[in-house]
Amino acid sequence: MDRIGFIGLGRMGRPMASNLVRKGFPLAAYDINRSAVEELTALGARAANGVAGIAEGSDVVVTMLPSGVEVGETLAGPDGLFAHARPGQLVMDMSTIEPATTDRLAAEAAKRGLAFVDAPVGRLASHADRGESLFMVGAGDADFQRVLPLLQAMGTTIHHCGPVGSGMRTKLVNNFLAIASCQLNAEALALTQRFGLDLEKTLEVIHGTTATNGQLKINWASKVLTGDTAPGFTIDLAHKDLSLILAAAQAEKVALPMGSVARDAFTLARQAGFGGQDFSALLDWFCGLAGATPPRLSR
């Protein structure tokens, strides 16, 4: 069995790494937050002495970090993983970052005899807690088979999207639809309030037509429409992802006018103090703009 090194124990990375430990994978953990590492060692993981310690004691290294800046520094910085790695090791980045950064890091890994996989995560932190994440994987066939047992330990749905880089690009397309739909949903439900419509009856109609969408039917029904705006995926992160999406689209000379409008809305919501709330809380922000009471389900 491969020895696993896990770097990045934030809200998503910590439960993912915990599931690996619980399912018997030998795992070394590292994060700048020592308390997060201690949570993993209490489950049976080993605390690594920095990135160098992860490289020394691991066959497969997983990174789950906030942005491409941290991923680039952790892997390709002067004292990063690549500087300490040995041929035959595999690096699997599960962060959501710029596709160009993924391509650059994969090329650098190949020069050093390292395999590289991108496997960004779908679904929410609550799914990660339960080991029910979805993964979009970019990898060669042999590398995909090598990381498949890890992915199966952390999630329930695994898509091999194609070669390295295709996982990240698939994630951006998925998140574009998921995040931008929040803006449309917020506007529509604010309008229902100003019209004086019954929320339950209106949703019954919407969910019975092609107007429905997963955010409104699944996520919002369990989050903002129940009054729960505790972050599963924050407005700040949604804004970050929209910025990645627009930059990647611009590099491909693809105009995304609806994406630009959605990012502006998320920018304004952040300015109004909603950045740390769940991205479904865009509804509450927009209702405030519209002078409407944020709607809530009665059950």
- Residue spans of the domains in the chain: they are 4-164, 170-290
Fold annotation for 4-164: Rossmann fold (3.40.50)
pLDDT along the chain (299 residues), means of 10: 95 96 97 96 96 96 96 96 97 97 98 98 90 97 98 98 98 96 97 97 97 95 96 94 97 97 98 97 97 92
Which residue is listed with tokens 């729960």?
228
E strand or H helix at 92, and its extent?
strand 90-93
Q: Are 179 and 238 in contact (CB under 8 A)?
A: yes
Q: Which residues of 110-139 are buried (b: 16+ CB within 10 A; e: fewer)?
A: eebebbbbbbbbbbbbebbbebebbbbbbb
Distances (CA, A) of 21 to 59, 72, 121, 168, 290: 15, 26, 19, 26, 48
pLDDT at 27: 97
pLDDT at 298: 87
Please tell me the pTM assigned to this model.
0.93
Q: Are strands 133-138 and 121-122 parallel, antiparallel or unpaired?
A: antiparallel
Q: How many residues does the chain have?
A: 299
pLDDT at 232: 86
pLDDT at 1: 84
Active site residues: 171
pLDDT at 299: 67
- CATH for 170-290 is 1.10.1040.10
pLDDT at 223: 95
